[in-house]
Copies of this chain bind each other. A is one copy, B any other.
Amino acid sequence: MTQLKNDRFLKALFRQPVDKTPVWMMRQAGRYLPEYRQVRSKAGDFMSLCKNTELACEVTLQPLERFELDAAILFSDILTIPDAMGLGLYFEEGEGPKFRKPVRTEADIDQLQVVNTAKDLSYVTDAVTMIRRELNGRVPLIGFSGSPWTLATYMVEGQSSRDFARAKTMLYTQPELMHQLLEKLTLSVIDYLNAQIRAGAQVVQIFDTWGGALGHQAYKIFSLAYMQKIINGLITHADGRDVPVILFTKGGGHWLEAMAATGCHCLGLDWAVDIGSAKNRVGSQVSLQGNMDPAVLRADKQTIENQVQAILQSFGSGNGHIFNLGHGITPDIDPANAKIFIDAVHRFSEDR
């Protein structure tokens, strides 16, 4: 067990005082980095990169070489679980993820086996172990999973979707079938995240990318309830520390109170929410992660810095802020602008 050299991120997650606001970026190991694209072309397709322990470790560490980031996040995909369930995940250039065998019928769902991470997804835990070793205590490592509802949408649609017609049809016409699917996914996610924690993940984040597409009632029944089960099922202490859980529902700003009540440690916020009012609502229970619109990274230095300051000011004094974007950094961003962003977070939060 190596001593952490930078524990700003962990401290902020537990709402303890920090010298500067910690910052990391969703999808920080990604296509906007030329060195990532180089490794990616070596690996072949995207899933081959995810499944290659050395290369997954290499790209995880790349952004830390460039930027003063306060956390590393495992390089992987949110759809590894359905892939391990046999759905055949693949990526077509510029089209997002697709499944060769989408899940449509009761028989399809009956056949699905809860994932055994040790057997089916050892490439992920191997990567976690190697990254922890390579990080050597520089910053904490975040493990992650898609939420059951988010995984289910891709599995039922067979690909990304604008309106989730098939998934919502199943939800409304065969809710018991959707619950069966979500139950299997929930057990899989618990096993998967616990395996990541055992392998060395010091924080875990649940990405509920599509929870915000649901109505407020349906969200609680079909997304949040399963994330609650996951949180209840996670290892809470490992490696001599508590393991904090970050819950991120994109478009979930209406439901922060319910999300905070799950017992998670931190809520991820998209840019629709004013972080100051989010703090007023739930800041005594959880820390808050976010929430700059990634589109701001296309702007000039002054604009990026102004936006960083506006968010810091809105959060105000007090503990429990982790700076991040409100969603993943996009492939078109100049890495120089990512650096301006990260440095601005540290500089302006130190001044205060």
Query: Which residue of chain B lies nearest to A217 when distances are taken between CB atoms in the complex?
Result: B310
Q: Which residues of B contact A251 (CB under 8 A)?
A: 251, 272
Q: Which residues of B contact A200 (CB under 8 A)?
A: none
A99, chain B: closest CB distance, angstroms = 20
A319, chain B: closest CB distance, angstroms = 23
In this assembly, does A271 line the interface, its C-beta being within 8 Å of a C-beta of chain B? Answer: yes
A328, chain B: closest CB distance, angstroms = 10
Query: Which residue of chain B lies nearest to A175 when distances are taken between CB atoms in the complex?
Result: B303
In this assembly, does A65 line the interface, its C-beta being within 8 Å of a C-beta of chain B? Answer: no
With A165-B298, A165-B330 as given contacts, are A274 and B216 in contact (CB-CB < 8 Å)? yes
Stretch binding the partner chain, chosen from A10-18, A43-51, A104-112, A166-174 = A166-174
Inter-chain CA distance A169–B172, complex, in Å, is 38
Per-residue 0/1 for A238-276: is the Cβ within 8 Å of any B Cβ (1 yes, 0 no)? Answer: 000000000000010110000000000000000111100
The answer to whether A212 and B163 have CB atoms under 8 Å apart is no
In the complex this chain forms, how many copies of it are found?
2
The answer to whether A299 and B172 have CB atoms under 8 Å apart is yes
**Residue of A165, A216, A292, A332 contacting most chain B CB atoms (<10 Å):** A216
Interface size class, chain A: 20 to 34
A277, chain B: closest CB distance, angstroms = 8
Query: Which residue of chain B lies nearest to A274 when distances are taken between CB atoms in the complex?
Result: B216
Inter-chain CA distance A246–B217, complex, in Å, is 25
A303, chain B: closest CB distance, angstroms = 5
Q: Which residues of B contact A169 (CB under 8 A)?
A: 295, 298-299
Inter-chain CA distance A295–B295, complex, in Å, is 30
Q: What are 8 A-B pairs with beta-carbon distances under 8 A?
A: A171-B295, A173-B298, A173-B299, A214-B272, A215-B292, A215-B326, A216-B273, A219-B272
